[in-house]
Amino acid sequence: MSAQAPLALLCLPCAGASASMYLRWRRFLPPWVRIVPVELPGRGARMGEVFVEDFDALVARICTEQADAMRGDFALFGHSMGALLAHGVTRRLQSLRRPLPRALLVSGCSAPSRRDPERFDGGEDDASLIAELRKQGGTPEEVFASEELMRITLDTLRADRRVCRSHVHVAAWPPLPLPIHAFAGRQDDIEVPAVAAWSEETGSAFTLDWFEGGHFFLRQHEAVFLAALARRLPTHLHQAQLQAHQG
What are the catalytic residues? 80, 215
CA distance 95 to 176: 11
CA distance 165 to 188: 20
227 CA to centre of own chain: 17
Residue 74 neighbours by CB under 8 Å, 6+ apart = 7, 8, 9, 10, 36, 101, 102
178 secondary structure, DSSP code: S
Give the 3-state secondary structure of residue 161: helix
> Strand pairing partners for 207?
181
In b/e form, how buried is each residue of 61-91, taking b as 16+ CB within 10 angstroms?
ebbeebeeebeebbbbbbbbbbbbbbbbbbb
DSSP H helical ranges for 111-247: 126-136, 141-145, 147-165, 192-196, 217-220, 222-232, 236-246
Q: Identify whether the C-beta of residue 40 lies closer than 8 Å to the C-beta of residue 13.
A: yes
